[in-house]
A and B are shown apart, each in its own frame.
Chain A
């Protein structure tokens, strides 16, 4: 989901960073005797926990492998296109499932859910046009993270909107506490585009004309979104265009930042002693989603992570894959350690202090990240073209025009537009 420099560096060092795991420790009875299960997915603790649990099904004629890498998106379509496929399942998010649907490499799961999906809850099933295409197991969102001590010392209330973030940042700067109190993953590319997506939705914007691939972001909401982003960057470290989520977390741990919009899945580590000073990790608190303007829609997006089954897998392998992964996300996945890893959509999950941010975002009815066939092209176009505005080299309408033109030429090439 999140392409980071660290991931790229690691994969360059390890030559692909294929992390292959076979046959887990405890063998469980998953109820089937043969089949090949091969999982590809992103690399973070929650997904590793799911893959480890799936590996418990390996016994006798059942083979379970997992390749977890931050480069999973460049591998999953190609690895699922052959017959038989290299990967029988891809673990994806609501943005990345689109590439798998576009290339028609995943199968509808209706019959498998009917036969073996007893333990799954209805809201875990991702359906498109009545077909179940994926089973979600965790939720994620970006929300406010703040330093309680800094806000309390200055008597600032916890911000609920970006306007309040700006006011609080000005107060913190004026008091001489921090020069750059706001943090944000504004690295040119995927991260910057994601922040625009948040801010544009928060202003009530629509990315496309209804039912078509025609982009519609060069409007008042687009300009307002960019202007709010520029206002925030005034309070960010001047290197903000190089700060991805990792660098932003590092700034937080170094105690340089008091307010930021951060991924729920990345907040737990900020509350742990490793790598940060006591006054930072003991005062790190989770807020709700930030609003902007008066649209009433939070300026953030909701995400789920889930698993799919390859279309080209034989029926036996597809059944084995489905049952192994359904076993992996049974309630007994949850224990003291795994509870902390994510906001699980699994029965018996008890919210932890850190998960309140994501849960608040869900109940504030933030919009899910759009699951549209051409959204990825727009995201890339945004990531490549917004920076000149934040550098002061171009006006808001100029960069929005550039985004629309770049998107349109890519969408024509892919056959979404004529």
Chain B
């Protein structure tokens, strides 16, 4: 393609990306280094149906003057990134000097919101990504082996977890694992403990969230792998069979290498998705057991007093986290393009 025609071809996409991806990121970055003005607090008398009390309020006149002097707010540099709700630099320093041994240090470190959330998010990402790809691959192989007439309905049912809205899918499972729900009662029967509650136990909640994650994202891997399986060259497969390759050997030495680019692509997408895990935490009401960076953004923006700068800083940290996680895959893709 000529450069000129490429330019015109690519222009709409580039404009859209600039407008809807690049500019918002820049605005989030700017927001994260500014904080609201110092509030001028005055003591006032507050009266209402339940009598009068002495209370405080923001002095709007004085605050307005500050606001007009600096419309962007206070410039705070990286302060918000380093505060307790984010990287907690000074808190870690204090923990390091106070902790008697490494074990105590790490268990206290995980008590800080950002690191606690990171430990769940990374566990979730590194378990859900490979297992959902594997499960998707197994489903794809099974469907591929079915007689043609059964494939349509089977594909439809296998896709259901992806079609169901995540919040609704999560809620259904949430009700099933209730101590009075179908699965909850079954677990109690299995363990012989009538007081067993999945929702009250942190490890079991993590397991449920991860199982939900695998269940809901396996169909995506299944569709992509199923499409990929249709492109596996038949003659290579046939010659492998003539050479006496078993079904396992055909999968291992013919299909998997053929599907490797697809696997890389899906790993990229799923790592990005899973690192931003959010809906399961909401629909499982799991915030007492597991939090994620996205959950913090939601919590900052959903409180009675919104913390815009904190949410912006968490967003930037999420982007940085994703870039770090993706870098091995990106480097690998870059190299393989270099070879071609």
Contact B48 A127, beta carbon cutoff 8 Å: yes
Partner of A102, one of B44, B303, B305: B305
Asked whether A172 is an interface residue with its Cβ less than 8 Å from the other chain, the reply is no
Closest A residue to B60 by CB, please name it: A104
Partner of B299, one of A102, A380, A408: A380
- Stretch of B7-15, B78-86, B144-152, B242-250 lying at the A interface: B78-86
Contact B303 A379, beta carbon cutoff 8 Å: yes
Partner of B200, one of A124, A241, A367: A241
List A residues 360-418 near B (Cβ within 8 Å): 362, 367-368, 370-377, 379-380, 384, 387-388, 391, 393-394, 398, 402, 405-406, 408-410, 412-416, 418
Contact B165 A13, beta carbon cutoff 8 Å: yes
Contact A124 B49, beta carbon cutoff 8 Å: yes
- Stretch of B121-129, B133-141, B218-226, B281-289 lying at the A interface: B281-289
Chain A: number of interface residues, binned into ranges: 35 or more
Chain B: number of interface residues, binned into ranges: 35 or more
Asked whether B235 is an interface residue with its Cβ less than 8 Å from the other chain, the reply is no
CA distance A405 to B111 in the complex (A): 12
Asked whether B191 is an interface residue with its Cβ less than 8 Å from the other chain, the reply is no
Contact B37 A370, beta carbon cutoff 8 Å: no
Instruction: Name which of B43, B197, B304 has the most chain A CB atoms within 10 A of its CB.
Output: B304
Contact B57 A94, beta carbon cutoff 8 Å: no
Closest A residue to B49 by CB, please name it: A123
Contact B288 A13, beta carbon cutoff 8 Å: no
Contact A368 B50, beta carbon cutoff 8 Å: yes
Contact B84 A409, beta carbon cutoff 8 Å: yes
Contact B36 A345, beta carbon cutoff 8 Å: no
Residues of A within 8 Å of B46, CB to CB, are 126-129, 371
List B residues 1-47 near A (Cβ within 8 Å): 35-39, 41-47
Contact B195 A99, beta carbon cutoff 8 Å: no
Contact B49 A345, beta carbon cutoff 8 Å: yes
Contact A99 B304, beta carbon cutoff 8 Å: yes
Contact A372 B55, beta carbon cutoff 8 Å: yes
Given known contacts A376-B305, A410-B85, A129 and B44 CB-to-CB distance under 8 angstroms: yes
Residues of B within 8 Å of A416, CB to CB, are 39, 41
Asked whether A237 is an interface residue with its Cβ less than 8 Å from the other chain, the reply is yes
Closest B residue to A242 by CB, please name it: B285
CA distance A130 to B57 in the complex (A): 12
Instruction: Name which of A95, A368, A413 has the most chain B CB atoms within 10 A of its CB.
Output: A413
Contact A238 B179, beta carbon cutoff 8 Å: yes
Residues of B within 8 Å of A130, CB to CB, are 45
Q: In angstroms, how far is the closest chain A Cβ from the Cβ of B142?
A: 33
Contact A136 B85, beta carbon cutoff 8 Å: no
Contact A384 B202, beta carbon cutoff 8 Å: no
Contact B74 A372, beta carbon cutoff 8 Å: no
Contact A418 B50, beta carbon cutoff 8 Å: no
Given known contacts A239-B197, A415-B74, A402 and B111 CB-to-CB distance under 8 angstroms: yes
- Stretch of A2-10, A17-25, A157-165 lying at the B interface: A2-10
Closest A residue to B108 by CB, please name it: A398
Contact A73 B41, beta carbon cutoff 8 Å: no
Q: In angstroms, how far is the closest chain A Cβ from the Cβ of B30?
A: 15
Residues of A within 8 Å of B167, CB to CB, are 8-9, 12-13
Q: In angstroms, how far is the closest chain A Cβ from the Cβ of B195?
A: 6
CA distance A416 to B59 in the complex (A): 12
Q: In angstroms, how far is the closest chain A Cβ from the Cβ of B66?
A: 9
Contact A9 B178, beta carbon cutoff 8 Å: no
Asked whether B230 is an interface residue with its Cβ less than 8 Å from the other chain, the reply is no
Asked whether A213 is an interface residue with its Cβ less than 8 Å from the other chain, the reply is yes
Residues of B within 8 Å of A99, CB to CB, are 304-306
List A residues 82-106 near B (Cβ within 8 Å): 94-96, 98-99, 101-102, 104
Q: In angstroms, how far is the closest chain B Cβ from the Cβ of A208?
A: 8
Q: In angstroms, how far is the closest chain A Cβ from the Cβ of B328?
A: 33
Asked whether A187 is an interface residue with its Cβ less than 8 Å from the other chain, the reply is yes
7 of the cross-chain contacts (CB-CB < 8 Å) are A74-B302, A239-B197, A367-B50, A368-B50, A373-B305, A380-B305, A384-B113
3 closest A-B pairs by beta carbon, nearest first, are: A376-B304, A188-B288, A387-B288
Residues of B within 8 A of A (CB): 35-39, 41-51, 53, 55-58, 60, 63-64, 74, 80, 83-85, 91, 111, 113, 165, 167-168, 171, 178-179, 195, 197, 199-200, 202, 282-288, 299, 301-307, 309-310
